[in-house]
Structure 1
Amino acid sequence: MTQTDTPFVPPAPVPRTTPPSRFEIIRTVMRNPLELWGEPSFRREWMQVKFFNERTLIVNHPGLVRHVLVDNAQNYKMATIRQLILRPILRDGLLTAEGETWRRSRKAMAPVFTPRHARGFAEKMLAQSRLFTDRYETAAARGEIRDIAVDMTELTYEILSATLFSGQVTGTEAEFSGDIERLLSSMGRVDPMDLLKAPSWVPRLRRLFGYRILAKFRGIVEQTMAARQQLMRTDPDSVPEDFLTLLIRLHGPDGLTIDEIEDNIITFIGAGHETTARALGWTLYCLANSPADREKVEAEIDEVLAREPDPVKWLDAMPWTRAAFEEAMRLYPPAPSINRAAIEDDQWDNGKGETVTIEAGTTVLVMPWTLHRHTLLWDQPGAFIPSRFLPENRGKIDRFQYLPFGVGPRICIGATFALQEAVIALGVLMSEYRFDCVAETRPWPVQKLTTQPEGGLPMRVSRR
């Protein structure tokens, strides 16, 4: 039987067949929300349920996704529980700001993340990927086992630091990336007080350790900003024209406050590299378990690198590599939930005589985790099949059934940046090394802020 006949099915919670009790809901959401979803969530187009006596609409129909997140997006604000989790970390960063604050920030930062500007980052992405890959030389010679989840976090942090901050973040890279990891791990999980919608001033015991890391983290960001401001005053000709400089120059009555600038630096350093890191790790893991697909990706990378030195062109020149990354994001979406709340009553008609009524105050859950694995939308939804994302097959995928970067006004501003970064990183890593699973490679997807591999991704690195 060929690989095509039996594609790799990576680990994921088995959908529930019986509704959980109230206690099970609390316990599961605190431990791993991905284990909460029942079988109907993967086969029904929408579901209206009660969650802690709160009206909740679970959306899996692409048309309804479009209605909520695009066509009538102004009627849907950020859901309370989401904000209770994220705002203590990111405050008024782009992911959590709302209203006029969000509009000012989005407009101000959009020019940095246009496709043209993203292409300008390609050479630095390539240089950082090569520097990082050099570290594997000794590991490969000794047949060492590396935690690829940790490695990808460090790699994407170094790329982000070099491209958006010119490598001038105060403190050592290892210390800073480690602090980010601990911060997101401790602060990014649901606390019982969140489920009860207790005010933000009520202590969250699960996050007490995280608050100490957050204070240290913000202190480093303040030092980084102060150092750049000092350079801008004393030696303006040597100031890098990067994201950090742009943000500081936006300070003023018509721009951003100092606090908002700090919040956005934290947002991009924290969430900006974490999402790509997780997707890269899952990609290498899935390819290690899908030899035929890995051979296609390796052959493509070898051919492109032999003829095309310009990394700007790699994204278009490597359809198999990009497809593998996108398929990994389908199975393990970096942001597994998109949470909204209806401001006013709303309705949506599916064109077949069925109408969904959404009352004001209803929590609306667009769940990439269920949407990306939905039986009505995908063939073999639990299997790793990169070919579904090849250019000739993309037309079969509705724009609103695949949301690794969200959609609508609040679509991830760094989507092009992340895709380019991922293909360049995979191109460099896989051109020289092969990553194989070992007996200890038993990851389990857990939802924190992102879809993380519990137990890490221990893999053996060897020269190709």
Structure 2
Amino acid sequence: MDIRPEPFEPPAPIPRTVPPSRLEIIRVMFRNPLELWGQPSYTLPYLQVKFFGQLTTIANHPGLIKHVLVDNASNYAMQPIRQLVLRPILRDGLLTAEGDVWKRSRKAMAPVFTPRHSRGFASQMFRKSEEFAERYIEPAKRGDEVNIATGMTELTYEILAETLFSGEIATGTDGFADRVDSLLHNMGRIDPFDLLRAPAWVPRMTRIPGRKALRAFRGIVAETMDARKAAIQRNAAVPDDFLTLLLRLEGPDGLTRDEIEDNILTFIGAGHETTARALAWTLYCVAESPHFRSLMEDEIDRVIADGADPVDWLDAMPHVRAAFEEALRLYPPAPSINRAPLEDDEWTDENGRTIQLPKGESVLVMPWTLHRHTLLWDRPRHFIPERFLPGNRETIGRFQYLPFGAGPRICIGATFALQEAVIALAVLMKRFRFDVTENTRPWPVQRLTTQPLNGIAMSVSAR
């Protein structure tokens, strides 16, 4: 008899019932913005509030979201506070560039991330996942505890280095996860001066500790570029990869050296980070959902035994994909999408109510609240991967689920990330089982991504 347990409710802040004071807002935004939002943000289709003197529209209505991100996207720029946080790190990388700079970069990179091209990376993703899995053999024999968040950061970095840079990034993996954590912990958070809209030239004291990590990343990028560029100039054989593509675009009609550096930094420092976090959350949630984990393991065993090529696993393993997509729902790597109207705008809902979206004010599309919204999801705080199985997945509205954003600025690597995640999960779960321990107490915090505070401790054992 198949008795399914009640679905697991993973940890997350409880919606506030009392508005925070101005001082508390500053403290919470610096500590963890996910803890700021109140019940209206999870229950109303949209609301407008004054936030540090600025009108802020919180958009949870799929129609309003479509209007802002797609239908009238040309009228919306990046919200200034977001840029104050991210531009010091990424400058004119794809996540932060705007206008012609963004258009040139996006057009240049698009061919690498088409679904057809991404499928070509499957064998490399599989090989690097297999190599990484070897590191868990000895810990599994002893039943050791590992920090799965750190492990997934290392794995996705190695996959990215191999697929996009042919393994020629000028650094090893030793200590890489720690450098990423240092960078994002110190640089990827809102400073009180950001909320007060102080000019960008005013020093943000809270970010000073992250400068060393940022300099290290910049050094890695410069060294990587110089080594490949030297090979190109002496007509040596070089891989036809992402790095070569960008370097060949340098020039008056393409990208500047600074823009190339910013985009390489964006992918090295952040391009793998989103998938890493979602993989760690997935392994944690399925460990607390043994019934669904068994379905995943059976599916993985069957597909691999049938000899399916890893390039086909994304379609052949719907349970694995569903678990990952549900983890993306509960812990969206990009928990907020921040925009500001360039000109006055308005939108009318299905009841004829029109809301004004004034020039220069703030519009927040927040996957964090959208994915947990009571009007859009059944038991929104629970881990229920069945939502994303074939037959159910099709009923989810396009603009109620935004792990990769939407519109012109939709994540360029969405297909790449989904394929990478399914391959990595299948390889790891074929050989190992990850379980929670008394030290498994993850808590989601918003930095550049939705990270588990202090990682996720889990035991690893051979299946």
For residues 248 and 105 of structure 2, the distance between their equivalents in structure 1, rounded to whole angstroms, comes to 13
Deviations 1:334-365 (A, max 9, x none): 00000000111111111221112111112000
Shift of 1:209: 1.4
Q: Identify the residue that residue 275 of structure 1 maps to in structure 2.
A: 274
Contact 1:75-1:344 within 8 A present in 2 as well: yes
Contact 1:326-1:389 within 8 A present in 2 as well: yes
2:180 maps to a residue whose letter is I
1:379 aligns with 2:378: yes
Q: Identify the residue that residue 352 of structure 1 maps to in structure 2.
A: 351
Q: Identify the residue that residue 122 of structure 1 maps to in structure 2.
A: 122
SS in 1 for 2:272: helix
Deviations 1:151-176 (A, max 9, x none): 00000000000000011111222244
Q: Identify the residue that residue 151 of structure 1 maps to in structure 2.
A: 151
Shift of 1:215: 1.4
For residues 413 and 160 of structure 1, the distance between their equivalents in structure 2, rounded to whole angstroms, comes to 14
2:91 maps to a residue whose letter is R
2:213 maps to a residue whose letter is I
Contact 1:323-1:387 within 8 A present in 2 as well: yes
Q: Identify the residue that residue 255 of structure 2 maps to in structure 1.
A: 256
1:100 maps to a residue whose letter is D
Shift of 1:131: 0.1
Q: Identify the residue that residue 231 of structure 1 maps to in structure 2.
A: 231
For residues 147 and 38 of structure 1, the distance between their equivalents in structure 2, rounded to whole angstroms, comes to 31
> Where in structure 2 are the equivalents of 1:45-194 lying within 5 Å?
45-194=45-194
For residues 181 and 239 of structure 1, the distance between their equivalents in structure 2, rounded to whole angstroms, comes to 32
Deviations 1:202-259 (A, max 9, x none): 11111101112211210111011000011112243x2011100001011011100000
Alignment CA distance shift 1:368-1:3 (3 Å): farther
Q: Identify the residue that residue 307 of structure 1 maps to in structure 2.
A: 306
Deviates more, 1:270-279 or 1:301-310: 301-310
SS in 1 for 2:434: strand
Shift of 1:263: 0.1
SS in 1 for 2:273: helix
Q: Identify the residue that residue 450 of structure 1 maps to in structure 2.
A: 449
RMSD value, Cα? 1.1
For residues 214 and 267 of structure 2, the distance between their equivalents in structure 1, rounded to whole angstroms, comes to 15
Deviates more, 1:34-43 or 1:389-398: 389-398
Contact 2:217-2:269 within 8 A present in 1 as well: no
Q: Identify the residue that residue 435 of structure 1 maps to in structure 2.
A: 434
For residues 11 and 289 of structure 1, the distance between their equivalents in structure 2, rounded to whole angstroms, comes to 12
2:53 maps to a residue whose letter is N
Q: Identify the residue that residue 425 of structure 1 maps to in structure 2.
A: 424
1:221 aligns with 2:221: yes
2:440 maps to a residue whose letter is T
Q: Which runs of 5+ in 2 are unaligned?
A: none
For residues 441 and 175 of structure 1, the distance between their equivalents in structure 2, rounded to whole angstroms, comes to 22
SS in 1 for 2:251: coil
TM-score (norm: length of structure 2): 0.98
SS in 2 for 1:174: coil
SS in 2 for 1:135: helix
Q: Identify the residue that residue 413 of structure 1 maps to in structure 2.
A: 412
Contact 1:34-1:446 within 8 A present in 2 as well: yes
Shift of 1:455: 2.5
Deviates more, 1:194-203 or 1:281-290: 194-203
2:420 maps to a residue whose letter is E
2:321 maps to a residue whose letter is R
Contact 1:3-1:290 within 8 A present in 2 as well: no
For residues 316 and 297 of structure 2, the distance between their equivalents in structure 1, rounded to whole angstroms, comes to 13
Deviations 1:27-51 (A, max 9, x none): 1101000000001110000000000
Shift of 1:309: 3.7
For residues 314 and 307 of structure 2, the distance between their equivalents in structure 1, rounded to whole angstroms, comes to 11
Q: Identify the residue that residue 325 of structure 2 maps to in structure 1.
A: 326
For residues 329 and 174 of structure 1, the distance between their equivalents in structure 2, rounded to whole angstroms, comes to 28
Alignment CA distance shift 1:163-1:429 (3 Å): same
SS in 1 for 2:152: helix
For residues 74 and 243 of structure 2, the distance between their equivalents in structure 1, rounded to whole angstroms, comes to 30
Identity over aligned pairs, percent: 66
Alignment CA distance shift 1:177-1:455 (3 Å): closer
Q: Which runs of 5+ in 1 are unaligned?
A: none
Contact 2:130-2:427 within 8 A present in 1 as well: yes
Shift of 1:398: 0.4
Shift of 1:95: 0.3
2:125 maps to a residue whose letter is M
Deviations 1:395-437 (A, max 9, x none): 2210000000000000000000000000000010000000000
2:310 maps to a residue whose letter is P
Contact 1:55-1:363 within 8 A present in 2 as well: yes
Contact 1:333-1:451 within 8 A present in 2 as well: yes
Shift of 1:308: 2.9
Shift of 1:260: 0.2
1:203 aligns with 2:203: yes
Q: Identify the residue that residue 246 of structure 1 maps to in structure 2.
A: 245
For residues 100 and 436 of structure 2, the distance between their equivalents in structure 1, rounded to whole angstroms, comes to 48
TM-score (norm: length of structure 1): 0.98
Alignment CA distance shift 1:359-1:2 (3 Å): farther
Shift of 1:5: 5.2
